[in-house]
Amino acid sequence: MTLRKSSDKNEMVNQLLGKMDKSVADSFTYKQRKALQKVISTRDWQKHNVDFRPTLALPFLPWNFYIVFLFGVNRRGLLPAERFMAATMFLLVLFFMGLFVIGSFLVILYLVKSWLGIDLFPGTSLGLWDEFKRLL
């Protein structure tokens, strides 16, 4: 069985070399080919904390679809466009989390105000206190 794995690795190296110019592929020494084989067989970069890859086969369709969800530490460098997108997404998530926290704080503050019976604008109400009392 290990012989088959070795031949698979050799086949992958041969496919890689086959995609190069013949003069470049022929210039690789035995040591360089072994180094390529070692790099191809090393799959440390494929280890993720969450690796979810289901396949979806829909009836009456000749194709299968797959979904990939990976989660883990990013070990590769980001391109400037990717870095900009990551920073933008981080700021958006931070903004919406801030909105949620501030909104929750204001609702709690309003409920405490209503519980204490403080009426800032006589005759007006948002109805939150009545709804809260009804739920309790």
Predicted pLDDT of residue 93: 97
User: Is beta strand 50-52 parallel, antiparallel or unpaired with respect to 69-71?
Assistant: antiparallel
Please state, in angstroms and as integers, the Cα–Cα distance from residue 133 to each residue in 48, 112, 115, 116, 121, following that order: 48, 12, 10, 13, 20
**Residue 2: which pLDDT band, with cuts at 50, 70 and 90?**
very low
pLDDT digits (tens, 9 = 90+) for 16-52: 888 889 898 889 898 988 888 888 776 655 677 788 8
**Residue 53: which pLDDT band, with cuts at 50, 70 and 90?**
confident
pLDDT digits (tens, 9 = 90+) for 87-107: 999 999 999 999 999 999 999
Whether residue 129 contacts residue 115, with contact meaning beta carbons closer than 8 Å, is answered with yes
pLDDT digits (tens, 9 = 90+) for 118-128: 888 888 888 88
Question: Does the pLDDT of residue 70 top 70, yes or no?
Answer: yes
**Residue 4: which pLDDT band, with cuts at 50, 70 and 90?**
very low
Q: Taking the model in full, what pTM does it have?
A: 0.48
